């Protein structure tokens, strides 16, 4: 990849990443991953005129992957805060054991979803992003993301109810 070409688009890509990331540190990490992936796959780019769009797509995917990692700090923050209510409602009291159960149920459920849908749910639940920001970040229609989030949150609530019924809680 031509270094001058990268430098031409670096700030553009960084601004884009900042619109979908929680912090400057996360944005820097995602920018680094974007550069590495672009560098490795530059030879596959057919149309140099589409470089900006191609780079933005790589950045979007890198951001979604970054926030989808179970070892990500955003996931740990989520587990240690009151944000569990946006999925669980009043089903659990929020003690550590319940949080770990919820974490495991979420991991399994998200892992079974198609890639883009799993990224959307992860970004919403773990990252705290709304449907508008997720649709922009993943390049999907707002209505599609909204529908996915609604259905998936209902399904997760059902899974939690089943688990609580099975364990007698």
pLDDT of 119 over the 80 cut: yes
Predicted confidence at residue 148, as pLDDT, reads 94
pLDDT of 162 over the 60 cut: yes
State pLDDT tens for residues 77-111: 444 444 444 554 444 555 566 666 777 777 778 77
Burial readout 43-65 (b: 16 or more C-beta within 10 A, e: otherwise): eeeeeeeebeebbbebbbbbbbb
The reported pTM is: 0.49
Predicted confidence at residue 142, as pLDDT, reads 93
């Amino acid at each position: 990849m031509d270094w001058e070409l990268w430098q031409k688009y670096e700030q553009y890509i960084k601004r884009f990443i900042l619109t979908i990331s929680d912090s400057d540190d996360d944005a820097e990490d995602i920018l680094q991953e974007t550069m590495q992936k672009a560098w490795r796959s530059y030879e596959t780019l057919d149309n140099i005129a589409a470089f900006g769009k191609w780079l933005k797509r790589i950045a979007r995917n890198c951001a979604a992957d970054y926030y989808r990692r179970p070892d990500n700090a955003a996931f740990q923050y989520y587990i240690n805060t009151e944000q569990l209510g946006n999925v669980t409602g009043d089903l659990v009291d929020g003690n550590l054991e319940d949080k770990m159960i919820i974490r495991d149920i979420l991991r399994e459920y998200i892992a079974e979803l198609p890639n883009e849908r799993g990224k959307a749910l992860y970004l919403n639940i773990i990252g705290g992003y709304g449907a508008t920001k997720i649709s922009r970040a993943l390049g999907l229609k707002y209505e599609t993301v909204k529908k996915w989030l609604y259905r998936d949150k209902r399904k997760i609530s059902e899974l939690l109810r089943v688990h609580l019924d099975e364990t007698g809680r």
